[in-house]
Amino acid sequence: MSRAAAVLAALAALAVPAGAAAQECPQTTLGDIEDEVMCPICGTPLGLASEAPQAQQQRAFIEGLIADCRSKEDIKRALVAQFGEGVLALPGDDSGDGGVEDVLVYAIPALGILLALGGIGFAVLRWRSKRTRRAEPAAARGDSARLEADIERYDL
């Protein structure tokens, strides 16, 4: 029994440092990074990139950095150093300086959506005004008929 207890104690001692090391290592996954980086050759996010050699090379590079317990930001910096600035899929990832390009990436689509909503609103208002104008002559005919009836009733 003491021999089995000694073996269990030794295994537990080996498991504790491995668990502590796992807690110190950042929990970054390939899927988490693939959404935020691009294949510079394909021009698509790495998660959507085909099995092109460049995309495979980037994935292997990322997996190696993950195995070395590198953080997500460290991996992105290493990818930029290895493959160039075009590897980042999200604006502001490279320097975080908030340049004009970063603002335009979000402002142009927002402006497009606002213009589309304005166009839809204008079309709806115009459609409704045409419907109202078509209904007006019928109401006007009713008013003129009543006016004629009143004039005839008060005819002296």
Return the pLDDT at 94: 46
DSSP of 68-130: TT--HHHHHHHHHHHH-GGGB-STTSSS----HHHHHHHHHHHHHHHHHHHHHHHHHHHHHHH
Per cent of the chain over pLDDT 90 is 10
Average pLDDT over residues 89-96: 55
Average pLDDT, the chain: 76
Pair 60, 69: CB distance under 8 Å: no
Closest CA to 92 of 27, 40, 36: 36
pLDDT in tens, 68-92: 998 888 988 998 888 888 888 765 5
Pair 49, 42: CB distance under 8 Å: yes
Core vs surface per residue 34-67: b (16+ CB within 10 A) or e: bebbbbbbeeebbbebeeeeebeebbeebeebbe
Token digits of residue 83: 């493959």
pTM above 0.75, yes or no: no
